[in-house]
Structure formats: C-alpha cells, structure tokens
C-alpha cells in the first residue's frame, strides 16, 4: 500500500441512517477482499443493520486476492464482492476479477471495485478491461453511497438469480420433452429413459475430456459443449418410423428387415433437420440431426447409411457412437446379458481404428478410469 494512504479516510464522514428492517430470510453473502483490517471493520459497522428485501448481510473476509478466490470457490452463493485493487500486488484485485469470471466461470456475483489508489486502476480502463459492476474510490464511499452501491448490486444479483432460475426451468422442461421424444421412439423398452440419460452423461464426459488437449479441442466450442448432451438423447429418434415387428423381433433380422431398420438413421436426420430449420442458429436439433444420421457410420468406412470414413463422420456422431455402444454392452438387453466394464472397454479398444475414432476411444477410456463407471 502507498504510505500516503495511511491517513486518508476510509469513508468520508456522513451520518445517514441505514434501513433497520428485521431479517426474515437467509442473509445475503458479502465477501470483503481488502488487505486493511480497518476496511473490514468499518464496512461491517456501516452495513451492520442493512437489509434488502427483508434480508440482512452475512460477511466473509479475505485479506488477499488468493484468499478471496478460495472463499468464493467455497461459497458460490456470494452475492456481492467489495474488492480492493492493491493488495499483495498492485493489481491483485484486477487479477481476482479475471479469475472469478474466466477461471471460476462465476458471472452472477456482483463485483464492486474499491480503491484508495485510483491511479493503479483508472475507472474507464477498469470498466472496459474487466467485468466489474461498480467502481468506487474509498474516499467517496460515504455510508449513504455504500448503502446505494449495495442496494444496486443486490438488486442486480436478484434479477440475475430470477433469470437463472427461469433458464434452468426452461432447460429442465426442454430436457424432459427431448427424453419424451426419445422414449416415443422405443416406448416399449422400459430402459429407454435411463438409457438416453446415460448416453447424455457419457457424451458430455467424453466431450469434456476431448477439450483437454486432444486434436479436436479447437473444434469443440462453448456452443458444441452446451448442445451435444441434449442432442445425443435423440440419436435413435428415427426408430419412431420403424415397425414394431422389426424393433421388437427377438431373432436376428433378415435382409429386408435389416434394410428397413437401417433407415432409422436417415429418418431421424430428416425429422430433426426439419425442426432445426425452424430455429435460427445452432440448436440441439441441428446437432442431433447430424448425430442421428451418422452415429452408425464407422471409422473405416464400412458403416451406414452413407459409408462415411474418418473425420468425414461428424465429430458429434463419433462421440455418441462410442457412448452408445458402450452402454449397450454393459446393460442387459433381451438378446444378451450385461458385460463387465473391463470387457466392454476392451471391445471398444479392439475396434478402435476400424469401427471407432481412436482419439474418442482414448478419451472415453480416460473418463472410465477416472470416474469408475459401471
């Protein structure tokens, strides 16, 4: 800290009463990150009786950017951070902002930057270069301005919470509708709902693994990651157009039946493609269309319906193919008993480079080893 700052007032004197409405719910969590104990003490004193929407404040304190990052990881429901700029380094606060937004992925918490040395982080540069929500110098933070800054931050946080809740509800409803569509395709299979959710989880896990340093990491953007799990659920949606006598036949299919069975890929691709054209931009339906049409293609070009080979097969379909076959192997079917995981994984490895993309198989093997899936 600059020695010249020692004598500067932390809050300019101003005697303004603060709301003292009784607390009726869990308090809002506020994280104070500042290397001066006096700042922590004065903040708690000024805001001690603060309430918003009937809720008071609960304070967490950190004296360095490193400790602030740790406390936020441990308390992801922190609503507001009152953050100093100059702590263990001249830009520790700004470094923490980057860590919160980019590394921790926390976009909800409201960050109020407080500085006693505005020259270290000029206001315009701080707003343009960092995802902060308010900027105050310590000398301007009178009790009423701290009050209004806190109300504004909490009001903003509450709005984001409401939007997040609604988004989660929409996502949950969308997932339920997609699972129902998948169930419709194989409605006589009691395991279908669980099957497609397992495919979703495994597809998402393989995708996360591929992001971590695989040759395909550049192909997997945020949109791909967000959509592929839901899209994978619909990989067999085309079976809705296959007669039950073929779908449920307990014996091997004859040549004509197998020809009809294979059309579930193009039926699903066409159905989801029509739906995708009704939505602007990428969607789980556009991704799902490609998965439905290509998840039975093989790396060596011997699959169906088009005999695509290698990277001509969409990456999303190559991922789902591994997840789907593994799930079929380790779970009971009318025609087979479940295989042990080790045997199923060995079967994938044997077919790596012929049926399956070797990079995807390696990624899945790493996931199985880490997660211990059954």
Report pLDDT digits (tens) over 327-369: 999 988 766 789 999 999 999 999 999 999 999 999 999 999 8
Domain extent, residue 218, equals: 186-371
Considering the candidates 145, 239, 274, 336, report the single residue annotated as catalytic: 239
13 domain residue, yes or no: yes
- In the chain, the number of structural domains is 2
Query: Looking at the structure, do residues 359 and 250 belong to the same domain, yes or no?
Result: yes
Does 145 participate in catalysis according to the annotation?
A: no
354 domain residue, yes or no: yes
Q: What percent of the chain has pLDDT over 70?
A: 83
Within a 10 A sphere around the Cβ of 247, how many other Cβ atoms?
Answer: 19
Average pLDDT for 170-197: 65
Query: Looking at the structure, do residues 11 and 110 belong to the same domain, yes or no?
Result: yes
Q: pLDDT grade, residue 3 (50/70/90)?
A: very low
The DSSP letter of residue 336 is B
312, pLDDT greater than 60: yes
Cβ atoms of residues 117 and 2 within 8 Å: yes
CATH number at residue 336: 1.10.3210.10
245 domain residue, yes or no: yes
Query: Looking at the structure, do residues 199 and 299 belong to the same domain, yes or no?
Result: yes
285 domain residue, yes or no: yes
Cα 116 from Cα 8, distance rounded (Å): 8
Q: pLDDT grade, residue 126 (50/70/90)?
A: low
Query: Looking at the structure, do residues 29 and 142 belong to the same domain, yes or no?
Result: yes
Q: Residue 358: what pLDDT?
A: 98
Which of 123-137, 139-153, 219-233 shows the lowest mean pLDDT across its residues?
123-137
Indicate yes or no: pTM above 0.85: no
Query: Looking at the structure, do residues 211 and 119 belong to the same domain, yes or no?
Result: no
Query: Looking at the structure, do residues 203 and 158 belong to the same domain, yes or no?
Result: no
Q: Residue 7: what pLDDT?
A: 42
**Cis, bond preceding 305 (omega within 30 deg of 0):** yes
Query: Looking at the structure, do residues 143 and 245 belong to the same domain, yes or no?
Result: no
Among 162, 195, 216, the domain boundary falls at 162
110, pLDDT greater than 90: yes
CATH number at residue 126: 3.40.50.2300
132 domain residue, yes or no: yes
**The length of the chain, given as a count of residues:** 374
DSSP characters for 74-131? H-TT--EEEEES-SSSTTHHHHHHHIIIIIS---SSEEEEEES-GGGS-HHHHHHHS-
Angle separating helix axes 315-330 and 284-294, nearest 10 degrees = 70
Cα 23 from Cα 222, distance rounded (Å): 40
100 domain residue, yes or no: yes
Query: Looking at the structure, do residues 361 and 268 belong to the same domain, yes or no?
Result: yes
pLDDT digits (tens, 9 = 90+) for 204-255: 999 999 998 899 999 999 899 999 999 999 899 888 888 888 887 878 899 9
Cβ atoms of residues 181 and 234 within 8 Å: yes
Among 162, 195, 213, the domain boundary falls at 162
Cα 266 from Cα 60, distance rounded (Å): 57
Query: Looking at the structure, do residues 190 and 156 belong to the same domain, yes or no?
Result: no
Query: Looking at the structure, do residues 292 and 348 belong to the same domain, yes or no?
Result: yes
Alpha helices in the chain (DSSP H): 37-46, 65-74, 92-98, 123-129, 143-185, 192-211, 222-232, 244-247, 255-262, 264-276, 284-294, 315-330, 341-350, 358-371
174 domain residue, yes or no: no
Query: Looking at the structure, do residues 145 and 201 belong to the same domain, yes or no?
Result: no
Query: Looking at the structure, do residues 69 and 199 belong to the same domain, yes or no?
Result: no
Q: pLDDT grade, residue 121 (50/70/90)?
A: low
Q: Residue 212: what pLDDT?
A: 85
């Amino acid at each position: 800290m600059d020695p010249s700052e020692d004598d500067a007032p932390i809050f300019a004197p101003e005697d303004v009463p603060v709301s003292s409405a009784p607390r009726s719910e869990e308090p809002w969590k506020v994280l104070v990150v500042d290397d001066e104990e006096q700042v922590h003490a004065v903040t708690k004193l000024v805001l001690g009786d603060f309430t918003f929407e009937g809720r008071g404040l609960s304070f967490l304190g950190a004296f360095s950017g490193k400790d602030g990052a740790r406390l936020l990881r441990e308390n992801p429901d922190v609503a507001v951070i009152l953050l100093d700029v100059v702590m263990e380094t001249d830009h520790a606060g700004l470094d923490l902002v980057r860590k919160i937004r980019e590394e921790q992925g926390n976009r909800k918490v409201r960050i109020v930057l407080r500085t006693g040395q505005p020259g270290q982080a000029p206001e315009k540069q701080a707003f343009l270069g960092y995802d902060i929500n308010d900027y105050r110098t310590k000398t301007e933070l009178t009790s009423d301005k701290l009050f209004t800054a806190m109300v504004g931050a909490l009001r903003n946080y509450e709005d984001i919470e409401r939007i997040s809740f609604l988004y989660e509800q929409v996502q949950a409803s969308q997932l339920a509708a997609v699972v129902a569509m998948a169930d419709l395709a194989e409605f006589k299979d009691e395991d279908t709902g669980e099957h497609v959710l397992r495919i979703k989880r495994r597809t998402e896990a393989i995708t996360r693994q591929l992001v971590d340093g695989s040759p395909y990491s550049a192909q997997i953007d945020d949109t791909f990651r967000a959509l592929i799990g839901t899209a994978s659920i619909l990989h067999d949606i085309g079976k809705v157009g296959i007669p039950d006598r073929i779908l449920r036949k307990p014996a091997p299919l004859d040549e004509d039946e197998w020809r009809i069975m294979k059309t579930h890929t193009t039926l699903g691709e066409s159905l989801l493609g029509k739906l995708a054209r009704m939505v602007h931009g990428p969607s789980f339906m556009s991704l799902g269309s490609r998965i439905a049409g290509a998840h039975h293609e093989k790396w060596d070009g011997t699959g169906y319906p088009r005999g695509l080979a290698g990277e001509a097969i969409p990456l999303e379909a190559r991922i789902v193919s591994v997840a789907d076959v593994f799930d079929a192997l380790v779970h009971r079917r009318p025609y087979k008993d479940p295989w042990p995981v080790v045997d199923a994984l060995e079967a994938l490895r044997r077919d790596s480079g012929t049926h399956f993309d070797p990079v995807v198989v390696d990624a899945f093997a790493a996931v199985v080893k880490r997660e211990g899936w059954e």
